[in-house]
A and B are shown apart, each in its own frame.
Chain A
């Protein structure tokens, strides 16, 4: 078991290195010059002194060939030195660590609600296959998924605040259990909801045609009991498989969501970085997002065999 675990994580390393290579190469060719930035940040008088620039370049290894620089970049990243942002000069790793928990709470809450709503909805759609209810559930969730967050956010705000007067402008972050987070969490669930509904519906339909379900029905089990005991357990597998995909969707949604609702989360950090072309921060957030997705996928691979005994750990 332990051997398998380490094996899985070692498998993820080449992908991570490749992601880092892409991200590093993009910054390498970008017009961003770390040395000039350093001079600017330390308010050095002779900003254009070529000798000074060359000396700093040598000192920090920026005159080294591309490959050496890449190796240095990996070493620095692993050591936790992710650089300093151009705007505000914050330590990037610290900024990520400060914002990520907020987004993670929102994301997990959204994922939980998605599962609680999505799985029953998907099962219901499958039970009433090809009825208007089925079309309504599948079509409706799809509509919600298709509309981008930065469209849904303002539209919901206009609807709930200006038209219906149901709430005051929800802004800021005062912990997860606060009425301000209601709208952001609802909007976050719209992305993955359609995925969970589709996967559950599909899986339930597939399991329905299996012999053991017919047996369960034949021995007199009610539809509800069959659903809970035999179908849902097997139907969960494809939902779990989609977790990596869902994580990606949540990260992408939060990029556009945070600033609309003034949440100081990971998305806000990302959006501001892109807006100000803050390359060191862009590097950091891309790396963190990829790590999260790769970790989720590895985790899915790990729990998959427990849900589906036909899949063995070693294969």
Chain B
């Protein structure tokens, strides 16, 4: 509103003034409604939204929409091209490729959401400790962020997963031998758990740094100072003013972390330390067939293209959210 009041009332921009007046008379829209409108006007973001929605739907409904169980082999029909009963063909040991792609979507989405959730929680706690815990806490957390960030993401995640995987799997095996719990027999979910852990460790610093920066810059703003001056307690300021103002960038970062999570899960599985066959992951599907790309190209191309489309879709959504929620920021959060 301040811009309208400040506009000089010369005849030249009367049209603008009229438009502004019309704008002012309309029912005020909330920040979120405004953001939603902007998001829906962005064509790429809508495409991204559709892809992300499809991905989540596939992850939830995977078992019902997949034509076959993704671990079922038909050894008489290995590495076939697309046919009517196997729409995308079969893989090197005769599993239905479409069902494996759907299974991979579940793995990727699950890992992406859970590791993003964990890293946001850890990052938020660390960010709050850094900004409210005094000088030493701030120094400690910022150093920890710097150190974690000076090890390449893939290497750190791979290293954590490689270290803990044999440990946890051996423990589970020992526990299974003594207790006989059926849950420990299938180690697929343990592999997932290890990937969640590795990814959370590499993702939290981004959130901690972001939240710390947001709190530090917002605390100096006039409206926070005004609230403090009239005696609003510090926790209420945090709840009422800091969190609502800081949430936009956090949501944007979460979207980008979702797509990085999917890529990293595939990368770890590609390196053989994430999700292993017969569990389905796009990364291990690419890996199992990369040696034979020249005579069975579709077994590499299909999971590769799926991974590319999924990450691009989520990133488009993130970019759209960035434009919608942080109109002032010019920088993209992807790079």
Contacts and interface: CB of A to CB of B under 8 A. Distances in A.
A98 interface: no
Contacts of A161: 294
Nearest to B311: A146
Interface in B246-296: 259, 263, 266-267, 270-273, 283, 286-287, 290, 293-294
Contacts of A146: 259, 263, 308, 311-312, 315, 334
Interface string B164-187: 001100100000000000000000
Nearest to A255: B154
Binding site of A, secondary structure by majority: helix, strand, loop or mixed?
Answer: helix
A275 B220 CA distance: 50
Given A145-B335, A271-B271, A293 B159 contact: no
A251 B152 contact: yes
A270 B44 contact: no
Interface string A279-300: 1001001100110011001000
A282 B290 contact: no
Contacts, number: 146
A19 B162 contact: no
A258 to B, nearest CB: 13
Contacts of B163: 26-27, 29-30, 279
Nearest to A147: B308
A15 B147 contact: yes
Interface in A137-179: 139, 142-143, 145-148, 150-151, 154-155, 157-158, 161-162, 169
Contact of A151 (B153, B308, B315): B308
Contact of A143 (B266, B293, B312): B312
Given A146-B312, A289-B151, A154 B159 contact: no
A248 interface: yes
B66 interface: no
Interface string A253-270: 001100010000000001
A29 B159 CA distance: 12
Contact of B334 (A145, A151, A162, A202): A145
Contacts of B150: 15, 19, 290, 293-294, 297
Contacts of A194: 334-335
Contacts of A274: 158, 162, 271-273
Contacts of A38: none
A168 to B, nearest CB: 11
B304 interface: yes
Interface string A184-223: 0000000000110011001001000000000000000000
A277 B166 contact: yes
Contacts of A198: 331-332, 335
B151 A275 contact: no
Contacts of B301: 154-155, 158
B152 A293 contact: yes
B152 A289 contact: yes
Interface residues of A, number: 55
Contacts of B263: 146, 148
A100 interface: no
Contact of A154 (B290, B319, B330): B290
Contact of B167 (A22, A29, A142, A151): A29
B34 interface: no
B287 to A, nearest CB: 8
A157 B330 contact: no
Given A22-B151, A169-B294, A31 B159 contact: no
Contacts of B154: 252, 255
Q: Which of A143, A151, A154, A277 has the most CB of B within 10 A?
A: A151
B315 to A, nearest CB: 5
Given A31-B167, A286-B155, A290-B151, A139 B44 contact: yes
A197 B111 CA distance: 31
Given A26-B160, A154-B293, A274-B271, A255 B312 contact: no
Nearest to A153: B290
B38 to A, nearest CB: 15
Contact of B146 (A15, A143, A148, A154): A15
A104 interface: no
A184 B315 CA distance: 25
Given A30-B163, A154-B290, A270 B267 contact: no
B271 A26 contact: no
B285 to A, nearest CB: 11
A312 B28 CA distance: 48
Interface string B29-67: 000000000000000100000000000000000000000
A124 interface: no
Contact of B267 (A23, A143, A150, A282): A150
Interface in A101-143: 139, 142-143
Contact of B307 (A19, A151, A279): A151
B106 to A, nearest CB: 19
12 contacts: A18-B143, A30-B163, A31-B166, A147-B312, A148-B266, A154-B290, A202-B330, A248-B152, A251-B152, A271-B271, A274-B271, A279-B163
5 smallest beta-carbon distances between A and B, as pairs: A151-B304, A30-B163, A18-B147, A154-B300, A274-B271
Interface of A: 14-15, 18-19, 22-23, 26-27, 29-31, 139, 142-143, 145-148, 150-151, 154-155, 157-158, 161-162, 169, 194-195, 198-199, 202, 205, 242, 245, 248, 251-252, 255-256, 260, 270-271, 274-275, 277, 279, 282, 285-286, 289-290, 293-294, 297
